[in-house]
Structure 1
Amino acid sequence: MNTATDTDRIERSIVINAPRERVWRALSQAETFGTWFGADLKGQAFEPGQRTRGRITISGFEHVFFDVVIERVEPQHLLSYHWHPFAIDPNVDYELEPPTRVVFTLQDVPGEATLLKVVESGFDNVPPHRRMEAFRMNGQGWSAQMDNLSRYVSTQQ
């Protein structure tokens, strides 16, 4: 968990009662990712060096875009991307800010389950006037999204 002195990174983890291959499918296929994350990523793919962008489908946030540049895809082990955290103001050009880095890792745990970890780092580079709000909101967001992913995977075969 985060401490008062650790404001550069958010770390969350969850054990999902599903094989790693099923969790990886939900995480690594852009359309499926969008289903549980709440973004319209139809027809897109997560490819290293490529941008994936789609409108958020969560009520009240339809004006916001999920907008990432994929960094690495290591099948059934790691997915990482860069994005601008809590980029919700349509009047701000977030491209002028340094992005944070999001890294998902998967690991087998006993009982045909998967340990999924997400680490978002780079908040110390977010402009000071919005750093703490972005950190707080993404901290809450990752907790909710890990639960969303777990629920989604539990309904899949």
Structure 2
Amino acid sequence: MDDMTVERSIWIDAPREQVWQAVTEPDQIAQWFLPVTLGAQMQRHDDGRLSVLLGPMAVDVARLEALEPPHRVTSRALPDGLLATIYTLEEADGGTQLTVTMSGIDALPADARRDRLQMSGDAWDQTLQNLKAHVAGTEKPFPQAGVAALFGFWRDMKEKIAVERSIWIKATRERVWQAITDPDQISQWFSPGTQWRGTGLIEGGRLSVYDAENDTDMYVQVIEKVDPPYQLITRSEPAPEEVPQTTIWTLQEENQGTRLTITHTGYELQSADERPNNMEQNTFGFGMMLENLRALVEGQELPYPGGF
């Protein structure tokens, strides 16, 4: 097995056709794939896209392709499709041997690859047990197991635990840099109709949402590092009951465009009970944010015009 590949396998006491339905039909996928606390449903579109339905909002998370029923199907994480998961179903001992192989981690930044492998592998161990229970009609043994770690969107960085998302944008680094540092542009992709303001793009400077009604600043981000057009690091200024979180924005040239990566840390300071749900929700949120940002830079309509 490739050193940068996650592979897990499980035997399920059911025919291949039944297991195939469980891994390809959206109503069934939602039962074993999504954490219970998310309270979401799934939808499969004609083009193979799988969307998670969060109230009135639909978030594209993967695309099913190369279907060979009931033998094999490939799922690619969206929006970029870098990470691919292949489900292989084989008849074995009167049931089905299901093997999941995730690849594409080698296309990620070098410092992120190893950090993701263990968390992704552990997540698949739990999720396959949930799938087995779903097919058997029994209770899920790991109700909090979720999507984000499976796709390699979580990192265990020794002393820090992070959510990390990235997107390729058809624009120069300088243009993307403007979009993440200019308060007027941040307002357009993050919270249309809401005013952002800044005290200067310097270490110690602040970016925040201005609440005119109460003449206060909300969602304050303190700038810790400015290295244009390569990296921006900000730290939240939390309310008393919250913990501070750090966001690292990294811009790399790629294929005549820019890969923008967000690494969000601070979850290691949260309790073990609240951490998984917060990370799961933020994983979806950052993915949606990046899609909005890309649309703004490329001159397209925002996929999530309501903002965040």
Residues 1:80 and 2:74 are matched in the alignment: yes
Aligned residues: 130
| Bigger strand share | 2
Counterpart amino acid of residue 14 in structure 1: I
Shift of 1:26: 0.9
Distance 1:132 1:46 in 2: 33
Q: What residue in structure 2 maps to residue 139 of structure 1?
A: 121
Give the TM-score taking structure 2 as reference length.
Answer: 0.38
Residues 11 and 119, structure 1, Cα contact 8 Å, conserved in 2: yes
**Quick one: which of 20, 23, 26 aligns to 1:24?**
20
Residues 4 and 113, structure 2, Cα contact 8 Å, conserved in 1: no
Residues 105 and 118, structure 1, Cα contact 8 Å, conserved in 2: yes
Gaps of 5+ in 1: 57-64, 85-94
Distance 2:16 2:81 in 1: 32
Gaps of 5+ in 2: 139-308
1:94-145 deviation per Cα after TM superposition (whole angstroms, max 9, x unaligned)? x5x661110001011122x100000001111112232222222111111111
Counterpart amino acid of residue 74 in structure 2: S
Higher RCO (C-alpha under 8 Å, 6+ residues apart)? 1
Residues 1:119 and 2:126 are matched in the alignment: no
Residues 1:54 and 2:36 are matched in the alignment: no
**Over aligned residues, Cα RMSD in angstroms?**
2.4
Task: Report runs of 4+ in structure 1 exceeding 4 Å deviation.
Answer: none
Shift of 1:45: 2.0
Question: Alignment partner of 1:8: what SS?
Answer: coil
Report the CA distance shift for 1:10/1:20 in structure 2 as closer, same or farther (over 3 A). Answer: same
Report the CA distance shift for 1:126/1:55 in structure 2 as closer, same or farther (over 3 A). Answer: farther
Give the TM-score taking structure 1 as reference length.
Answer: 0.72
Report the CA distance shift for 1:144/1:19 in structure 2 as closer, same or farther (over 3 A). Answer: same
Distance 1:120 1:130 in 2: 16
Report the CA distance shift for 1:31/1:52 in structure 2 as closer, same or farther (over 3 A). Answer: same
Query: Could you say which structure has the larger radius of gyration?
Result: 2
Q: What residue in structure 1 maps to residue 134 of structure 2?
A: 152
Distance 1:27 1:81 in 2: 10
Residues 72 and 87, structure 2, Cα contact 8 Å, conserved in 1: yes
